[in-house]
Structure 1
Amino acid sequence: MSSYFNAALLIRAGSIRYNILTLYLFSRTDIKTTFLPVTLFSIGCAPACNMGSALQCMFWLWLQLLHFNLANQTSRTSVEEDSKNKPFRPLPSGRITLQQAIILRYISLISGLALSAMYGLRIFLINVGFAVLIVMYHDFQGGSHWLSKNLMNAAGYCFFEAGGTLIAACDRQRFDDLAKWSLMMSLAILATTIQAQDFQDREGDRTAGRRTLPIVFPVISRYTMLFCLPGWSVILGHVWQLDLMARSAVIILGTIVGFRYFTFRTVRDDEWTYFLYNGWLLVAFSLPIYSRHFRGD
């Protein structure tokens, strides 16, 4: 009896570990590109943030990200692409079936809406907006054209950041001036630079029939990165009133990333440059923390 009980515990523990790893693998590639930058942004924008609200913010963001990832990875074209480009993901690796992943998608949607409702009407409506955007993007091909893709990605980030900011704050009913400015800056930056993620995926996007900016305008898209990243870096330094050293660091990083996108154009080069772009974005999204907690604004 004792040995049977111990075996049952081991099986259950193994199953829990397996399922946790499966959930992690759905979101693995977006941890550094989305979860960490948005978490820093939300905590930086939230006045009077404490550890408890910060942890709640992180859990809410992860649940929303999981829903997005499940919607993205359960389309048939995504499964085919991931089997070539990201075989570690749960569906191509066989950790979970497509039917199970689709069920999990709707469980994550309902769970996210229920959790948001607990925080009040404003956060619930933000979650509804984010959910509608996901359906438009994935189920109605909103991400297949470069203009709608850029705008919808920027709007999705904005919903993501707005909900995280309210949950991280002690006052969950309003945004203060710093948060409003931060959200507007984020929306503008992402709408004009989010094509950074598309350069490395040109072949897959072309095969899937997507008309991303690097495919439709292969030369102009490189120029957008060359000028927008240094330009936004200068604006960020001015808006957040960075000191000379911090301002120079942000501008230099933005200039390096923009120059790399323009100069180095192989898939491998674009993968490395996208990694640096996410570093720049992480810095940009962290600047409200500097303004809030170090300048006393």
Structure 2
Amino acid sequence: MAALEQTFVTENAEIGPTRSINSQPRILSLNITNKSPQLLGWIIRLLCFFWDYTESNFTTFVIPNSSFGLLSALASSVLSEGSRPSTKNLLWRAPLVVLFNWFNVLNFDLANQRSPKSIQEDRLNKPRRPIVAGKVTVDQTRRAMLATIPAAWLFNYALGVWKQGASIQILTWMYNDLEGGDEIIRDLIISIAYGMFNSASLEIALGSGQAGQISRRGIIWTAIISMVILTTMQVQDLKDQAGDRTRGRKTIVVFFGERASRTSIALFVSFWSLVCPIFWSTGPLGYLIVGTPGAWVAWRVTRKQGPAEDCKTWKSWCLWTVALYFMPIAYLLGF
């Protein structure tokens, strides 16, 4: 309990101009003699503590990846070796899919936000993040990881997706500790990670046994989505250029220039908006489902610039990827 008391902090502390990020904010203490009321409050504060790290990635990463698993499970007759799970089972497993994505993203964010370069970047791009905002220290974040990483391994094993979970941890280590996220291979690491998250989400949604085995077509579809991520994920870097240049990160927009990056995003979004419906042999409605948000993203990325507009384009891109995840369902419905 003493270790936990040194790990988790309140949200009230702030970093002033002369305050170090390693100085100690006011600590959350837990008096076990007061039992349930204080314990409940401590748990809520603990969850809020973790939420602060993942808030920016929840709607743009956790929700889309969870959507891939759940929507693909509805088309399990073409994406898995088993039969379609019942609506009851799918609804029961939906929170597990979301929790898997959030828990593993949490470990990524804890590792990512504690590095000196990330702190420097966050002061420019994301000043509300917990370390920069003074809610928690770097050392307390490190201590939290000593608990969350083993817990995630156990959780992934219990869900039957320990292989993807182990791969995600390796990719997290490469991206953060080996600074692969600052190299030109950054998007490659992210696209592989997406493949791990997406395939695991589908397996969790399908359930255990043969029903949870992804078919050959399902593997190909997961790989196509990873290629989509590899070629268009750079859209997220448009809004973060100031911080990326400060830390020397070799994103495509920094390395090749903003004009080349925006043009390639528009071209690849248009390309995949055609290829994915072709892969699933959908009708005109299938092309419309993907093409409409795809055209919107392509227009925005070439016409709207600036951090605020680029943030909106990034969110529009996330909605476009979710539209792609509807393609197997559109195929089954004959759209």
Task: Determine if contact 1:253/1:280 at 8 Å carries over to the other structure.
Answer: yes
Q: Deviations over 1:214-245 (max 9, x none)?
A: 11112221111121111111112222333323
Shift of 1:290: 4.1
Mind listing any 5+ residue stretches in structure 2 that lack a counterpart?
Answer: 1-30, 77-83
Mind listing any 5+ residue stretches in structure 1 that lack a counterpart?
Answer: none
Give the whole-Å Cα distance in 2 for the aligned partners of 1:249 and 1:119.
Answer: 32
Name the TM-score, length of structure 2 as normaliser. 0.79
1:11 aligns with 2:49: no
More deviation in 131-140 or 86-95? 86-95
Aligned position for 1:200: 239
Aligned position for 2:180: 142
Q: Deviations over 1:257-290 (max 9, x none)?
A: 1122122222222122112111111212343344
Aligned position for 2:224: 185
Shift in CA distance, 73/286, structure 1 to aligned 2, threshold 3 Å: farther
Give the whole-Å Cα distance in 1 for the aligned partners of 2:146 and 2:287.
Answer: 44
Give the whole-Å Cα distance in 1 for the aligned partners of 2:299 and 2:225.
Answer: 22
Task: Determine if contact 1:38/1:285 at 8 Å carries over to the other structure.
Answer: no
Aligned position for 2:21: none
Name the TM-score, length of structure 1 as normaliser. 0.88
Shift of 1:195: 0.4
1:156 aligns with 2:193: yes
- The one-letter amino acid of 1:137's match is Y
Shift of 1:88: 2.6
Q: How does 1:207-246 map to 2 (within 5 A)?
A: 207-218=246-257, 219-246=259-286
Task: Determine if contact 2:270/2:294 at 8 Å carries over to the other structure.
Answer: yes
Which secondary structure state, in structure 1, belongs to the residue aligned with residue 325 of structure 2? helix
- The one-letter amino acid of 1:24's match is W
Task: Determine if contact 2:97/2:204 at 8 Å carries over to the other structure.
Answer: yes
Q: Deviations over 1:184-215 (max 9, x none)?
A: 11111011011011111111100101111011
- The one-letter amino acid of 1:213's match is I
Aligned CA RMSD, in angstroms, stands at 2.4
Aligned position for 1:118: 158
Aligned position for 1:91: 131
Q: Deviations over 1:98-126 (max 9, x none)?
A: 21211222322211111222344xx2222
Q: Which of 7, 24, 36 in structure 1 is aligned with 2:51? A: 24
Q: How does 1:256-267 map to 2 (within 5 A)?
A: 256-267=296-307
1:270 aligns with 2:297: no
Give the whole-Å Cα distance in 2 for the aligned partners of 1:93 and 1:144.
Answer: 23
| Higher RCO, Cα 8 Å, sep 6+ | 1
Aligned residues: 289
Task: Determine if contact 1:127/1:159 at 8 Å carries over to the other structure.
Answer: yes
Which secondary structure state, in structure 1, belongs to the residue aligned with residue 264 of structure 2? helix
Give the whole-Å Cα distance in 1 for the aligned partners of 2:311 and 2:96.
Answer: 32
Q: Deviations over 1:7-53 (max 9, x none)?
A: 76543333222211121121111111111111111122233332233
Shift of 1:150: 1.1
Give the whole-Å Cα distance in 1 for the aligned partners of 2:304 and 2:59.
Answer: 23
Shift in CA distance, 226/119, structure 1 to aligned 2, threshold 3 Å: closer
Give the whole-Å Cα distance in 2 for the aligned partners of 1:62 and 1:77.
Answer: 24
Shift of 1:90: 2.0
Which secondary structure state, in structure 1, belongs to the residue aligned with residue 164 of structure 2? helix
Which secondary structure state, in structure 1, belongs to the residue aligned with residue 180 of structure 2? coil
Task: Determine if contact 1:196/1:225 at 8 Å carries over to the other structure.
Answer: yes
More deviation in 46-55 or 248-257? 46-55
